[in-house]
Amino acid sequence: MSEHLPADQGTRDVFVRLSALIYAGADEADVYQAIVDAARRLVDGCERASIMLKRRDRFVTAASTDDVARLADQIEREVREGPCYDAVLDEAYQHDTDLTSGTSPWPRFTERVLAETPVRSAIGYRLFLDGDKVGALNLFADEPGALTERSADQGAVLASFASVALMAVRAREEAATLRLGLQSNREIGKAVGLLMAAHHMGAEQAFGVLRRTSQELNMKLTQVAEEVVRGQEQQFGSTSSDGQR
């Protein structure tokens, strides 16, 4: 059975830890895993959970609590229906508290899940990134009726947090890319300036020298610029040492 914390304090503690993980720079996979693990602690009746994301034209499981949840995702992908699959495509969350009732909205999914897994109750919530539906959080239970309306409300809070986490991870990645770009531009700018000073050429001509060298050596422009800067620094160091002798 799931281990749940006292509602108010437990929920706060888990979200504080999740937030700390995100903003401490944990990678994307660790963040997803922390969210599905938290589902078992925060959602009444939840025994298993997964996150399935839509990447280009295919769905992939980004994290799961166990092999059963991962298998349920795989079944959804194969039959092209189920709580997670439909949550990505539709506007509302998907909830079937009792998959054994014979009234499931996902007959192909339900038939296989009942035959191949212990799952008997499921909920799927869509996840957003910049307003686009990019995936879903899946919650599973092994007892019919275990995922109640209260469970659905608790899961909705976690799904909202998961969407915020997606945005935070994306923002952090974009910031890292921007920093790398700025660093690259600084190195290129230094190299252009050094070439201009050393060879009495204009900025456009100096940049052309870097670009041609990059193409001829099959090296990135930034790498060529770094080598130019490193070479000049070594030369200045040698000159300084010679002057002291």
Spell out the long-range contacts of 191-196 with Cβ–Cβ below 8 A and sequence spacing 24 or more. 191/224, 191/225, 191/226, 191/228, 191/229, 192/225, 194/228, 194/229, 194/232, 195/228
- Whether 2 maps to a domain, the answer reads no
- Overall number of domains in the chain: 2
Q: Are residues 21 and 73 in the same domain?
A: yes
- Cβ contacts of 34 within 8 Å, gap of 6 or more: 17, 18, 21, 26
| Averages of pLDDT over each 10 residues, the chain, 245 residues | 51 74 74 90 94 86 96 95 83 86 93 97 85 83 95 89 77 58 67 75 76 78 75 55 41
Q: Are residues 49 and 156 in the same domain?
A: yes
pLDDT of residue 146: 96
pLDDT of residue 236: 54
Q: Are residues 160 and 240 in the same domain?
A: no
pLDDT of residue 243: 43
